[in-house]
Structure 1
Amino acid sequence: MSATPYRIGVDVGGTNTDSVILDIRATKSSNRGVIAQQKTPTTSPNVTDGIETAIRSVLEQANIPREEIACLIIGTTHFVNAIVEQDARRLAKVAIIRLSKTYTREVPPFSDFPPVLKEIMNGHYGYVDGGLHIDGSQEAPIKEAQVVEQCAIIKEKEIDAVVISGIFSPIDDHFHQEDQVRKIILRELPGIDVVCSSEVSQLGLLERENASILNVSILKFARRTIRGFKAAMKRLNLTCALYLTQNDGTLIDATSAARLPIRTFSSGPTNSMRGAAYLGGIGSDGNQKERTATIVVDIGGTTSDIGMLLPSGFPRQSSAYVTVAGVKVNFGMPHVESIGLGGGSIVRVNEGKVTVGPDSVGNYLTSKATVFGGDILTATDIGATGENIGDAALVKELAESTIKGAQARIKSLLERVVDIMKTSPAPLPVLLVGGGSIIAPKELAGVSNLICPPYHSVANAVGAAISKVGGTIDIIQSTADRPVSKVVEEAKATAIEKAVAAGAVRETIYVAEVDTIPLQYVANQVRIIVRAVGELSPDGAPASKAEEAQEEDEEDDAIYNEPVKGQAHAIEVIPPVDIASYRPKVVRNPKTGVPEWFLSETDAEWLSDGCYVLGCAGGGSPYSQFLRLRDQLRQGHTTRIIDSTSLPGDAVIYWGGYLGSPSVSIERLAGDEADQAFQELMEYMRHDSFDAVMGVEIGGANGLQPLTVGSTKNHDRPVVDADWMGRAYPTGWQTTLCVYAPGNLVPCSIASGDGRAVIMTKTNDDRSVDDILRASCVEMGSSAGTAGKPTTADRVVKYAVRNTLSLAWRIGRCIARAHATNMAATVVEQMIDEVGGCETAKILFRGKIVAVERRLYKGHSYGELIILQQQADDEEEDTERAANPASIPVATGGMLKIPFKNENIFARHVSNSGVERYVAMVPDLIAVLDTQSGRALGVPEFRYGVMVTVLGIACSPRWTDTPRGLEIGGPAGFGYEEIEYRPLGRYVEPRSVVMEFVQD
C-alpha cells in the first residue's frame, strides 16, 4: 500500500469549484473513500482563489498530514473559456508553417475560423517543402533554408507562437519532419512557443491544424494559470504532484498540460461521468468482464448533460469532428447530449397542457422558485413536493394535474434523451448526479436501475480524483505481408508502452479501445486507433526538467494582475441571407443570350450541403472544396452555371473529378489536381480551350470540383448543370456515359498534383480503365485528378443526368431554411417536396445508429450500417407528422441494415419478428441524414448513437430504362446479383435554377 494514500480532486466549473479528498485504500467502503467534500463559488477572473479556498476547506475537514497526499488533480474549463469568450487578453497571434511541397495551397490556414478569432490569432502562414503520402513515404524532404526564411518573417512580425503542420504527420514515425522543423525554429528563434500538430491530434489536416492553433494561442495563459495552481499549493503547504484531467478521462502532468492545454478542454463532462460511475459502484472492481455500459445524467440548474460510459469505464467519444467556439477540430471529446431541463426550468400551464423549460431561472433559483418564496413555478418546485426542500408549505396548494403533468413531461424528456444515448434496446443503468437531480422520476422506461449515488453533487471532483493514465496511438499500417490481427497486436503493445512512459503501473494497464478502419479504395492499408489505460504510479508521471525550470524562471506577477479583457479589431459582420426572398443571380450573356447563373457564397454553401446528401454517404466530404470555392468568390473570381439545353451543337465539353481514397483528401485538402489533369488532356488532344466543363458525379466533393475548374481563376468556362451519375458511385465506369455510349472514357488523363501525370489512350473495356488508372493512382499517393474524353452537347442532353446542380442547391436551401426557421424537425419532408413529392422520395426509416461493422462479401470488403427504430416522439410532433404523408416512413419497428462500399448500396429492413425486406436499393439514392440538423452523414461520420433519418430518392431513368443501366449501376454492379431491383418511385426531373430565376 502506498505511503501517500490520499488524492485531492478538483473540478472548476463556470458556477462552482468542487473539491474532494479521496482515500484510495477505502474505495470499496460505503463512502467510496471520500473523506471530505466542498462546493465553492468559482472566482473570476482569478480561478486560483476559488481553488485555494476549496482545497483548504477539504484539508481542514479531513485533518490529514500534508505529506500523505499523493497528488492534486484538477479539471478546469478555464482554458477553453478563453477561446469561447474570444478573450484577446489571453490569446496570442500565431504563425503557421505547413509542410508540403505541392498540396493544401487552395485551402490556407484559418480558412474556416470565425472572423473574430481569425482576427485575434492570424499572424502569418507560410509553406515549406515536406509532407508525407498516405503510405508514409515522403512527398519531399525538409529544406532548412526555407524554414530559416520563414523564421525571419516570423521574427519581423514579432510573433512568438508557431504551429508546424505537416501532411500525414501523425503517421510520420520515420522522418520526423515536424520535429526537424521545430529544432530549426528553436535554433533561429529561441524561447518562442512551437507546437507540432502531430502531438496535438490525429488525421485530418485542417482540423488538426485548427486544434494546434487554439492550443499554441493559449500557451502563455496556460502557463500563468498552472503557475497560479502551483503557487496556491505552496501557500497550502502541499508538496505533492500536480496533474490536470484530459478530455478522455485520463490525467496529464502539469508540465505537459502547460504544453497541451487543449487536451483539458472538455474534461468537465468526462469527470462527471466517471465520478458518477465510481460513486455508484458501476464497474469499480477492476473486473473487465463485469463492466457494462452506463448512462450518466447530470442535471444542473438550466440544462441536463447526458453521456455514455462504455464498458471500458471511459466516455463514448463524439464524432470525428467537433467544434470549439465555432472552430472545427478533431481531438477526442466525450459525446454529450444536452437538453433544456434543470432544477430552474420554468413550468407553465396553458389550456391544460403542462410544459417544462427549456427556459430557466438559472442562478436565481433560490430567490425566484416558489418553494423558496419566489413567484415562478420551476421544476424544483415540482420535485420539492416529495422532498425536504425549501418551504414545502409554499407548494402545498399546487394542483395535482399540474404536478402530474410536469412530472410526466420531465419523465418524457429524460426517457427520450436516454434512448438517444443507448445503442441497443436492452435496459441500461442510469446514474443521476448534479444539484438538480431531485427533479428526476423514480424510474425511467428502458432503464434497468436508476441510481443517485452518495456525493452526487461533487461527482465531477471525484471523477478528477480517480483519473487514470493513458497511452493512445493512431497509425496507418500495411497488411500486404502480415494479417490485420498481428498489426493490431503490435499497435496494442505500442499503446501500452506509451501508457507506461506516461506514468502508468504496467501491471494495471488494459486496452480500453481498439478501432480498425480499412482505407477506402486503398489496398492493404488499415488505420488502427488504440488506447491503453492504467493506474498512476506512486512515482507519478515523468516530466521534463527543462520545461519545469523554464516555468519556474518566469515571473508570476501576471497570474494575479491580468489586464482588462481585450477585444479584437472591429469585424464587419455580414448579415444572414433572407432565405425567403433570396434569388440567385441568373442573367443572360450579352453576347450569346445564354442564361448564366453567377454563384454567390450562399449558393456555394447550399450546393455543398446538397452534394453531400446526393453522395449517398460517399464521394468524400465537400467541405474543403467548399472552402476553396468560397475563397475564390471572395477573391473576386466568378463561377457560372448554364442549363444543358444551352450548349451549342458543336460544343466541346470537358469533364472529370477526383479518383482515389477520401482518406487522402482529409490531409491534402482540395487542390488543383483535376485542373492539371484537364491541362494534360488538352495538350494531348491539341485543344487550346473548351466550351464548358461538367462533373463526373454530383455526389460529395466531386459535385463542387467543376465549379472551381470553370471559375475565372482557372479556365473561365461555364459549368453544365448535369453529370454522369446523378449521385455518387465508387468507380469511373458506373456512369450513364458507359451505359449508353461505351468506349468513350479514353483518351483520359490523371494527374497527381505534384508533377506526375498519366494519359490512357486505348482500352477494350470500360471497367479496365478504372482498374488501370487506380493502379497508377496508388503510386501517386492514392489520390489524383481525372479528365475523361471530351464529350459533345448531344451526348450530354441524351445521356447525362440533368439539373443535378439545381437539385443539390434546392436540397441545401431546404437545410438552410429549416435552420433559419427552427424547423429542422421537418427538413426531410421539405426535401421530399423539393425533389418531386411522395411519389419520388420517401422516408425509409427513422432511428439510431447502433453499429458500424466491416465484413467480406464475395472477397470484397464492405461496411454495414445498422439502425434501430427510434422511440416515438411526443404527442405534438406525432400529430404534426401524421398530417403530412411525407412524414410516414416506409418501414417502422425493428432495424434497418445498409451495406456500403463508401456509397450506400441497399436498405434492408428487419422487423421485430425477423421478417426481412428490401425497402430501397441502387441505383435509387439512399441518404443517411442527421435527424437534428438534416445534413448528410458520410461514412466517416457514421457513429454509434446518432439519431438519423434515412431518405430514399428515385434515380434518373437513365439508369433504369435499359438492362445495361441496372447491370452497371444496380445491385449487380456491387456483386449482389441475387437482389432484383425494385424501383423506389417515379423520377421527377429537378427544376432548373437557371431557367427559373433568369432575369429577362
Structure 2
Amino acid sequence: MGSTVESGRKMLRIGVDVGGTNTDGVVLDPSRALDPDKGIIAWHKAPTTTNPSLGISDAITTCFRNAGVRPDQVASVTIGTTHFVNAVVERDAARLSRVAVLRLCGPFSRHAPPCVDWPADMRELVLGHCALLRGGLEVDGFLIADIDEREIREQCAAIRDKGIRSVVVNGVFSPIDTVERQEERAAAIVRAEIPGCDVVCSKEVANLGFLERENAAILNASILAFARKTIRSFQEPIKRLGLDCPVFITQNDGTILSSEMATRLPIRTFSSGPTNSMRGAAFLVQGELNEAMMVVDIGGTTTDVGLLLANGFPRQQAAHSDLAGVRMNFSCPDVKSIGLGGGSIVRNGETLTVGPDSVSYKISDALVFGGSILTASDCAVLTDSTVEIGDRELVKGALDEEGIAKYKAVVKHKLEKIIDTMKTSPQDIPVILVGGGAVIVPDDLCLKGASKVFKPKWPLSSIANSIGAALSRVGVVTDSVKSTASKTTQQILEEICHDAIERAVANGASRPTTKVVEMDVLPLPYIANMSRFIVRAAGDLDYSRTDFATAHFEEPSEAEVQMDEYEKTAHRSVKKTTQPEPKEDVDIDSYRPTVKNRVWYINETDLEWITIGCYILGTGGGGSPYQYKLRLKQMLQKGDVVRVVNPDDLPDDAAVATAGHAGSPTVGIEKLGGDEMTEAQVELYKVCDEQPTHIISVEIGGGNGLQSMIVGASTNMDLPAVDGDWMGRAYPTKWQTTPVVFNERSPIWSPVAMTDGNGNVVIVPKATSDLQVERILRASLSTMGSAVGCADPPVTGAETKRWAVENTISLSWRIGREVYRSRKSNRVDSVAEAILDAVGGPEAGQVLWKGKIVGVERTLRNGHVYGECIIEGADVVDDDAVDKTQPALSKPSSAGQPQFQGRIKIPFKNENIAAIKVSQSVVDGKTVETEGEVLGLVPDLITVIDAQNGEAIGTPEYRYGLLVIVLGITASERWTSERGIEIGGPKSFDMDHLTYKPLGKFVKPSSVIDEFNVSA
C-alpha cells in the first residue's frame, strides 16, 4: 500500500511494533486522519528477525520505497517492543545483570529481604548483594531515620568488590519524599563511590507499595545494560536511513519515552503491545467514536481484549501484576485473553467447538491453505464471500448451513462472554475488532453488550499496533500523600493537577492539548487529615519544539564495555531457563499436616492455605496477610518452629496473651513490619506480673490472623499459638471482641502496650472501659506512624475456652485448601461452593450474590473508611464454550444469562457490614435508591472473593469491573447473644434501621488437630 507524499513537510510519523511473531511498520500523516485511508501513507508486515534492527530497517525501508517518502519529511519514529520483557520472562543470563539493593528502611522490613518472594532461580540470577540501612519516612513525612553516608560508602565498597555495576536504592515512603530526597542523596554517594555504575531510584520506577516497587526497580536495573544495546540497535537503521528526528519507545500506558529515558526505565515498556493495539484501534474509528470502547484484538491463537477509556488510556490492572513469578505494582493494561484466533481448530461433533487449541504459526495446516485441519480461518471463508484468504475452493463443503450457523453462534458467545467480563457497567459499549485474525468474525455479527461493532477494513486492522505506536502521547502520573489539615482536598487536588500538567509539558507535550485525564483521592484510614492523590496528565507530542534529542550513535563507553565483559564472565555458569522452577506439587487428597501429641507443627503448605483463608475471613478488612506470610515463611526456612494447640487442651490456669497489629492498610503496604509485635509483648510484661504460656490472635481476619504464630515462634517468646481468636473474622475496633461481649470483667484490655518498632512505646496501665482503651490508642496511633504492634494482658485458659471463637486457624486452613484444590483442578467456577463446604456446608453459609462491581464510593469518618460497593448481577463463570448440554445452535447466547438479577450494595466500615438488594427509580428527575431484601448482615460474615481465582478482595481493592462472588457465613454463637449483636451487629455500624436475622446455623469449625493427631 502506498501513495506519493507532498515534499517539504516534516509531518509524517513512523510507528514500528517489534512483536514476538511479526514486526509491523506504518508511515502516517496525522493531518489526514479523517481521510478514507486514515492518512496511512504506507505499511509493512513481516516475521520478526533475530536482530530487531534488521526488522526495523526493513519495515521503514519498504514503507519509504512504496510511498516515495523522504527522510526530511519524518517528524518522529516510535517503536514498540517485547524485547525487554522477553529477557525477563526467558531468564536470559546474557541479557540480565546482577543487582545490588540498598534499602533505606531503618528497623523495618528486615523480615522480608529483597527478592524474598521471587522464584529461587530468578533470585539467584539477579540478586547479587543487599543491605538494610538507616533511612526512610513515615506516612506524614516525618523521618524514621536520616541516611548515614558512612554506612552507604561501606556497602559501596562491598558492591565494588563483587564487581556489581547495577544498584537499586529503595526508601520507605520514597514516592512522597520531596523534601529529604533520601534516595537521590544515597544515589549520588553510590555514583561517586562506583564511577560508571547504573543507579536506579525506586521512586522513579513505581509508586506506593514497598516490596512491589522494589521488585520493579530490581528488574529495571537488571536489564539496563541490555536496554542500552537494544535501543542503540534500534537507532542504527534510523541513522542509516538518514532520519534526523527523535526516536521514542512506547510504554505501558500508551505514552512515549525518549530513547534516553527508555535506557533508564526500560521496564516501562513491558506491556506496551496491547496498549498500542488499543490506541491504534481508536484511531481507526476516529470521527465515528469519541467515548470509552472495547478493543478486541484477534490474533492467530488468542484474542486479547482491553478497555480503552474515554480519556484515551487503557484501563489498568488491579493493584498488582505478575511477571515471571515476580510481583510488582507497576502499571500494566488490564487485558484478558481467550483461546480464539485465526488458527483456532474447529471440531464439528455433537457440539461444535472453536479452539482453544490452535494450529498457531502452522497456518498452512488449515484447509484453505491446502492442509487437513478445519480452522476458524476456513470458517471465515465459508461465512463471508468477501474474505480473501487462500483458496476458497479447498473449503467447499467443510460445513453445511447448520454448521456455519453453529460456528457463528460459538464465536458470538465467546466474544460476548469476554466483552461482558471486561465491561465496567451494564450499559452497552462500542466494540472494535482488529488484528490479523479479525477476519474470522462475520461482518454482520451482532454482539450482545455492544452498542455498535466496528471492524476496520483489512489491512489497516491488522497493523493497529504499529499505528498506535506512531500516535502515542506524552504523559505523567503522580502518586502522593498530602495533609488536608491546612488546605481543602480540592485546593490540594488543583495544585497537584497543575504540577502534573507542567511536568507533562516539560516532557514534551504540547500545552494546548495537555489536560488531566484521570484523578483519584483515597482517604487514609486511621490517619487524621491525610489522603492519597493519584493524578494522570497527558497531551499530544509538541513537534514544534526543537529541544528533542535526535538519535545518538555514540560507541559504548569504556565502562559499558567493562560491564559487558563482566556480565559474560559472571553469568557463564548460570543456565538460561524459560520457565520458573516448578513448585512442589502437593497431592491434596493424601496430604496430612504434621500433628503430634495434639500439637500442630505448621509448614509452608499449611501456611499458604491458612493465609488464603485468613483474608477471606477478613470480610473485606484486616489488611492483606501477604507480607506476614512472607515473614512466617522466612522463619520456617530458618528453622523456627510454629506450633498451634487446640483451645480445649488449655489448662484452666494457662496465661493466654493476645497479639494484634493496628494501623492503616496504606501504611502496611509501604512500611513493612519490624519487631513491633514482639516488642509490645516484652514491654507489656514489664508491667504485668504474670508471664504468658500461650498466645492468641486478636482477630483471624486479614493480616492479624497470622500474628499469634509469628509472635509465638519468635525467639524471645517461644509460645504455642491457640487455634482460635477473639473475633472469628475482622472488626474495625478493639472493643468488638468476644471477651467484651461476655463482659465477665471490665475493662478486659488494660493494661495494654503499643509500640511502633522505632523505639516509641505507649503503655496504658489503667482505663475506665474498653471503649476508652480504643480511643486512647487511636489518638496515639497517627503520631506513631499509623502502624503499631499491640499486646493485651493475658487471660486464663478457662476464660479462653469460654470466650474464644474456636478452631479458626483450622477453618482458615480448610478454606485455603479448597481454594487451592479448585485452582489445581481448574474448577474455580465452583470455588464458592467449595468454601462453603469448608465452613460447614449449606447450613452454615450461602452464596449471596454473583456479579460485577459497577460502583464504589469511599469517605473517611473518625479514622475509618466508610463506603458502599455496588454489584450488578452477572454470570461470572468463565466458561469457554456454549452450554454443552444443548445443541450449539439452539442456545447461542442465553448461556450467559446471570442467575442473580438486579443489584446489591455492600456498605462497609473498613469491613463489610451487609449485603442488601437495591432498586433505582427516577422521581422528579432524580434517581432514588430503594433498599430491598437484606441478604446478609453483621455479625454474620459478608465476604467478597474474586470469581476468577477465589482470592479474597479487601475493601481497599474494590474497583469497577471486577467479577466477584459474595459469600455469607453464619457468625459464631459467641456473637449471637443480645449483647453480641449490640456490639457486633448493625447498631454498632450506625445502621439501626436494620434487624439482624441469622442467614444460617453456625457450625463449629472442625479442628485440624482433632482430625490429624498422631499420638506418640
What is the TM-score when the length of structure 1 is the normalising length?
Answer: 0.94
Q: 1:697 aligns with which of 692, 696, 699?
A: 699
* C-alpha contact (below 8 Å) 2:661/2:790 kept by paired residues: yes
Q: CA deviation at 1:617?
A: 1.2
Per the alignment, residue 756 of structure 1 pairs with 760
Per the alignment, residue 406 of structure 2 pairs with 405
Structure 2 distance, partners of 1:362, 1:53, is 25
How do residues 931-946 of structure 1 correspond to structure 2 at under 5 angstroms?
A: 931-946=947-962
Residue 585 (structure 1) aligned with residue 594 (structure 2) = yes
* C-alpha contact (below 8 Å) 1:890/1:919 kept by paired residues: no
Residue 923 (structure 1) aligned with residue 928 (structure 2) = no
Per the alignment, residue 105 of structure 1 pairs with 110
Per the alignment, residue 769 of structure 1 pairs with 773
Structure 1 distance, partners of 2:627, 2:551, is 40
- 1:756-779: CA deviations, max 9, x gaps? 111101111211211111111111
- Residue type of the alignment partner of 1:381: D
Per the alignment, residue 738 of structure 2 pairs with 736
* C-alpha contact (below 8 Å) 2:235/2:552 kept by paired residues: no
Per the alignment, residue 510 of structure 2 pairs with 505
> Judging changes above 3 Å, is the alpha-carbon distance between structure 1 residues 113 and 763 closer, same or farther for their aligned structure 2 residues?
same
SS of the equivalent of 1:460 reads helix
Structure 2 distance, partners of 1:919, 1:566, is 62
Q: CA deviation at 1:789?
A: 1.6
- Residue type of the alignment partner of 1:816: Y
How do residues 626-775 of structure 1 correspond to structure 2 at under 5 angstroms?
A: 626-687=629-690, 689-711=691-713, 713-741=715-743, 742-775=746-779
- 1:615-664: CA deviations, max 9, x gaps? 11110100010000011101111100000011111100110210110111
* C-alpha contact (below 8 Å) 2:653/2:796 kept by paired residues: yes
- Higher mean C-alpha deviation, range 707-716 or range 497-506: 707-716
- Residue type of the alignment partner of 1:449: K
Structure 1 distance, partners of 2:529, 2:869, is 22
Structure 2 distance, partners of 1:13, 1:926, is 45
- Residue type of the alignment partner of 2:962: V
* C-alpha contact (below 8 Å) 1:746/1:761 kept by paired residues: yes
Q: CA deviation at 1:379?
A: 1.2
Residue 464 (structure 1) aligned with residue 469 (structure 2) = yes
Structure 2 distance, partners of 1:820, 1:449, is 38
Q: CA deviation at 1:568?
A: 3.1
* C-alpha contact (below 8 Å) 1:858/1:975 kept by paired residues: no
- 1:264-300: CA deviations, max 9, x gaps? 000000000010011112687xxxxxx3110000000
Structure 1 distance, partners of 2:546, 2:616, is 47
* C-alpha contact (below 8 Å) 2:850/2:875 kept by paired residues: no
* C-alpha contact (below 8 Å) 1:891/1:909 kept by paired residues: no
Per the alignment, residue 395 of structure 1 pairs with 395
What is the TM-score when the length of structure 2 is the normalising length?
Answer: 0.93
- 1:674-710: CA deviations, max 9, x gaps? 11100101111144x4210100000000001111111
Q: 2:845 aligns with which of 829, 841, 853?
A: 841
Q: CA deviation at 1:839?
A: 1.6
Q: CA deviation at 1:878?
A: 9.7
- Higher mean C-alpha deviation, range 418-427 or range 626-635: 418-427
Q: CA deviation at 1:64?
A: 2.1
- Residue type of the alignment partner of 2:355: G
- Higher mean C-alpha deviation, range 224-233 or range 903-912: 903-912
- 1:229-277: CA deviations, max 9, x gaps? 1111111111211000110101110000000000000000000001001
> Judging changes above 3 Å, is the alpha-carbon distance between structure 1 residues 183 and 160 closer, same or farther for their aligned structure 2 residues?
same
- Residue type of the alignment partner of 2:409: A
SS of the equivalent of 1:972 reads helix
Q: What 5-or-longer segments of structure 1 have no aligned partner?
A: 285-290, 589-594, 881-887
Aligned residues: 975
SS of the equivalent of 1:102 reads coil
> Judging changes above 3 Å, is the alpha-carbon distance between structure 1 residues 574 and 276 closer, same or farther for their aligned structure 2 residues?
closer
* C-alpha contact (below 8 Å) 2:850/2:876 kept by paired residues: no
How do residues 942-953 of structure 1 correspond to structure 2 at under 5 angstroms?
A: 942-953=958-969
Q: CA deviation at 1:940?
A: 3.2
Structure 2 distance, partners of 1:301, 1:818, is 30
Per the alignment, residue 964 of structure 1 pairs with 979
Structure 2 distance, partners of 1:700, 1:276, is 42
Per the alignment, residue 364 of structure 1 pairs with 362
Structure 1 distance, partners of 2:245, 2:141, is 42
- 1:56-103: CA deviations, max 9, x gaps? 111112212211211100011110000001111100111000001110
* C-alpha contact (below 8 Å) 1:956/1:987 kept by paired residues: yes
Per the alignment, residue 885 of structure 1 pairs with none
* C-alpha contact (below 8 Å) 2:244/2:551 kept by paired residues: no
Structure 1 distance, partners of 2:759, 2:885, is 60
How do residues 488-499 of structure 1 correspond to structure 2 at under 5 angstroms?
A: 488-499=493-504
Residue 126 (structure 1) aligned with residue 131 (structure 2) = yes
- Residue type of the alignment partner of 1:422: K
SS of the equivalent of 1:362 reads coil
SS of the equivalent of 1:683 reads coil
Q: CA deviation at 1:910?
A: 2.1
* C-alpha contact (below 8 Å) 2:168/2:200 kept by paired residues: yes
- Residue type of the alignment partner of 2:735: W
Per the alignment, residue 23 of structure 2 pairs with 17
* C-alpha contact (below 8 Å) 2:165/2:197 kept by paired residues: yes
Structure 2 distance, partners of 1:229, 1:758, is 60
> Judging changes above 3 Å, is the alpha-carbon distance between structure 1 residues 362 and 541 closer, same or farther for their aligned structure 2 residues?
farther
Residue 898 (structure 1) aligned with residue 906 (structure 2) = yes
How do residues 611-622 of structure 1 correspond to structure 2 at under 5 angstroms?
A: 611-622=614-625
Q: CA deviation at 1:540?
A: 5.3
* C-alpha contact (below 8 Å) 2:236/2:553 kept by paired residues: no
- Higher mean C-alpha deviation, range 540-549 or range 402-411: 540-549
- Higher mean C-alpha deviation, range 169-178 or range 678-687: 678-687
> Judging changes above 3 Å, is the alpha-carbon distance between structure 1 residues 749 and 380 closer, same or farther for their aligned structure 2 residues?
same
Q: CA deviation at 1:575?
A: 2.4
> Judging changes above 3 Å, is the alpha-carbon distance between structure 1 residues 293 and 439 closer, same or farther for their aligned structure 2 residues?
same
- Residue type of the alignment partner of 1:623: Y
Per the alignment, residue 892 of structure 2 pairs with none
SS of the equivalent of 2:362 reads helix
* C-alpha contact (below 8 Å) 1:277/1:283 kept by paired residues: no
Q: CA deviation at 1:854?
A: 2.1
> Judging changes above 3 Å, is the alpha-carbon distance between structure 1 residues 805 and 438 closer, same or farther for their aligned structure 2 residues?
same
Residue 325 (structure 1) aligned with residue 324 (structure 2) = yes
- Higher mean C-alpha deviation, range 705-714 or range 615-624: 705-714
- Residue type of the alignment partner of 1:840: A
Q: CA deviation at 1:547?
A: 10
Q: CA deviation at 1:12?
A: 1.0
Per the alignment, residue 1000 of structure 2 pairs with 985
Per the alignment, residue 216 of structure 2 pairs with 211
- Higher mean C-alpha deviation, range 901-910 or range 249-258: 901-910
Structure 2 distance, partners of 1:567, 1:976, is 65
How do residues 242-261 of structure 1 correspond to structure 2 at under 5 angstroms?
A: 242-261=247-266
- Higher mean C-alpha deviation, range 652-661 or range 932-941: 932-941
* C-alpha contact (below 8 Å) 1:845/1:890 kept by paired residues: no
SS of the equivalent of 2:713 reads coil
SS of the equivalent of 2:687 reads helix
* C-alpha contact (below 8 Å) 1:283/1:292 kept by paired residues: no
> Judging changes above 3 Å, is the alpha-carbon distance between structure 1 residues 661 and 235 closer, same or farther for their aligned structure 2 residues?
same
Structure 2 distance, partners of 1:691, 1:633, is 21
Structure 2 distance, partners of 1:655, 1:559, is 55
Q: CA deviation at 1:23?
A: 0.7
Structure 1 distance, partners of 2:340, 2:568, is 37
Q: What 5-or-longer segments of structure 2 have no aligned partner?
A: 1-5, 887-895, 922-929
SS of the equivalent of 1:448 reads strand
Structure 2 distance, partners of 1:204, 1:774, is 24
> Judging changes above 3 Å, is the alpha-carbon distance between structure 1 residues 59 and 376 closer, same or farther for their aligned structure 2 residues?
same
Structure 2 distance, partners of 1:712, 1:206, is 23
Structure 1 distance, partners of 2:957, 2:716, is 32
Structure 2 distance, partners of 1:696, 1:195, is 40
> Judging changes above 3 Å, is the alpha-carbon distance between structure 1 residues 283 and 660 closer, same or farther for their aligned structure 2 residues?
farther
SS of the equivalent of 1:864 reads strand
